[in-house]
Amino acid sequence: MKNRAQRQLAIRKIIGSKAVHSQEELLTDLHNQGFALTQATLSRDLKTLEVARVPDGKNGYRYQIQEGVHTAPRMGGTNFLADGFRDIRFSGNLAVIRTRPGYASSIAAVLDGADPYEILGTIAGDDTILLVMREGITPRNFTSRLIGIMPKLKEKMTWE
């Protein structure tokens, strides 16, 4: 059986890839991907993920994940921090980001301010950040999300 984190990640992917107009439509897509859940469980997931219904022109409403609500301002300030990024390593649902001295707390503050679904919390020192990821989040999903928050990291990431 697939777990909650996998299900919620699938919900994010479905809503992010196409216009979903009803819970029934989303429930069908999830069932087709092998998830066994009820409409009540889906409603709770939508609330947890902060999914909103927004106008969709002639088609009524569609679901949208409210990513920008908690996101830190992007006035170019987050990208300079990528210069301090050295590398990232994973172990289970933990990630360790190594930075140049003095950058860790600022990078952690940007990540905390963005409030991404994938991160449960961060602890920062001078040159190291410990991140606790939600269960079921893969390193590739996580690094893609980091790049979404700090696009300049893309040129610094190495894929194994």
As for how many domains the chain has, the answer is 2
Last residue of a domain, one of 21, 45, 68: 68
What's the whole-number mean pLDDT along residues 66-88?
A: 62
Q: Any long-range contacts for 70-73 (C-beta under 8 Å, 24+ apart)? A: 70/113, 70/114, 70/115, 71/113, 71/114, 71/115, 71/149, 72/109, 72/110, 72/113, 72/114
User: pLDDT of 46-64, one tens digit each?
Assistant: 888 888 888 887 778 888 8
Q: What local confidence, expressed as pLDDT, does residue 69 receive?
A: 43
DSSP string, 95-109: EEEEESTT-HHHHHH
Whether pLDDT at 159 is above 70: no
Plot region of 115 (φ>0 → left; ψ -120 to 50 → alpha; else → beta):
left
Range of the domain at 131: 77-156
State the pLDDT at residue 2. Answer: 65
The reply to whether 27 and 59 lie within a common domain is yes
Residues 139-152, mean pLDDT to the nearest whole number: 88
From 68, 96, 118, the end of a domain falls on: 68
The confidence score (pLDDT) of residue 73 equals 38
Judge if 106 and 84 occupy the same domain. Answer: yes
Is the domain of 21 the same as that of 62? yes
- Cα–Cα distance for residue pair 147/150, rounded to 1 Å: 5
Q: Which of 25, 46, 68 is the last residue of a domain?
A: 68
Instruction: Tell me 72's DSSP state.
Output: P
Domain CATH code at residue 54: 1.10.10.10
Q: CA nearest 64: which of 53, 80, 49?
A: 53
Give the per-residue pLDDT at 75.
37
Is the domain of 51 the same as that of 95? no
The pLDDT, as a whole number, for residue 123 is 95
pLDDT digits (tens, 9 = 90+) for 92-104: 999 999 998 888 8
Q: What is the CATH number of the domain that holds 143?
A: 3.30.1360.40
* Position with higher pLDDT, 132 vs 7: 132
Measuring CA to CA, how many Å separate 75 from each of 38, 113, 150? 41, 14, 12
User: Does residue 147 register a pLDDT over 60?
Assistant: yes
- pTM > 0.95: yes or no: no
Contact by Cβ (8 Å): 97, 156: no
pLDDT of residue 53: 84
Whether residue 157 contacts residue 129, with contact meaning beta carbons closer than 8 Å, is answered with no
If asked whether residues 81 and 146 sit together in one domain, one would say yes
Q: Are residues 92 and 149 in the same domain?
A: yes
Average pLDDT value for the chain = 83
